[in-house]
């Protein structure tokens, strides 16, 4: 169920990017504290790429992202990168160590691949919620009302309707 949920969120993002002009994608938005939809999209993609690229090592450092500016300025390139992420999600669950430097101190935390996939899904949804705030200013773009909404919130809302 985890991989289909990630695919669903990433497909929502692909659908959105297909509606945006390069200008809408790469212009700064006051609603996003002057960052861009492209920067948020790049951040989502590169977090998944970190997990994928560092999986074999068994040590993941999310701060070691490429920060490829082409992803944040070119929707076609961003979509290609999202599709590549989707193709490489299915991996065996295994123990992974998270590595991060905080205030000059190295922190290591034990995790596993599935837990990190779940983290990346929640992280993706969080950034989609931020993107949605900016998108609501674009009159020509349509997005699903559940874009950027946690799966648990969607399920809760559905229960309340019944």
Tokens of 121: 């899904």
Which of 148, 162, 155, 151 has the alpha carbon at shortest distance from 12?
A: 148
The pLDDT mean for the chain works out to 94
Helix ranges, 99-150 (H): 113-135
Residue 76 to residues 40, 82, 147, 148: CA-CA distances in angstroms?
A: 15, 10, 20, 21
For residue 157, the model assigns a pLDDT of: 74
For residue 106, the model assigns a pLDDT of: 96
Overall size of the chain counted in residues: 162
pLDDT confidence of 137, banded at 50, 70, 90?
Answer: confident
Of residues 68 and 138, more confidently modeled: 68
- pLDDT digit string, tens, across residues 88-123: 999 999 999 999 999 999 999 999 999 999 999 999
Span 150-162, mean pLDDT? 78
Which of 18, 28, 31 has the alpha carbon at shortest distance from 132?
A: 31
For residue 154, the model assigns a pLDDT of: 76
For residue 162, the model assigns a pLDDT of: 73
The DSSP symbol for 32 reads G
Span 136-140, mean pLDDT? 79
Of residues 156 and 89, more confidently modeled: 89
Tokens of 141: 């773009």
Q: Label residues 38-76 b or e (16+ Cβ within 10 Å = b).
A: bbbbbbbbbbbbbbbebbeeeebbbeeeeebeebbbbbe
- pLDDT digit string, tens, across residues 13-44: 999 999 999 999 999 998 899 999 999 999 99
For residue 126, the model assigns a pLDDT of: 96
Span 67-96, mean pLDDT? 97
């Amino acid at each position: 169920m985890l991989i289909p949920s990630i695919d669903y969120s990433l497909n929502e993002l692909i659908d959105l990017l297909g509606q945006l002009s390069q200008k809408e994608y790469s212009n700064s938005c006051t609603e996003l504290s002057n960052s861009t939809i492209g920067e948020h999209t790049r951040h989502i993609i590169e977090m998944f790429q970190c997990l994928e690229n560092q999986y074999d090592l068994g040590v993941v450092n999310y701060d070691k992202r490429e920060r490829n500016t082409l992803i944040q300025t070119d929707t076609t390139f961003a979509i290609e990168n999202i599709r590549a992420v989707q193709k490489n999600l299915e991996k065996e669950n295994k123990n992974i160590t998270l590595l991060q430097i905080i205030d000059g101190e190295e922190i290591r935390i034990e995790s596993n691949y599935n837990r990190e996939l779940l983290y990346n899904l929640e992280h993706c949804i969080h950034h989609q919620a931020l993107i949605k705030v900016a998108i609501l200013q674009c009159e020509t773009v349509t997005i699903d009302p559940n874009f950027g909404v946690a799966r648990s919130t969607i399920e809760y809302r559905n229960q309340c309707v019944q």
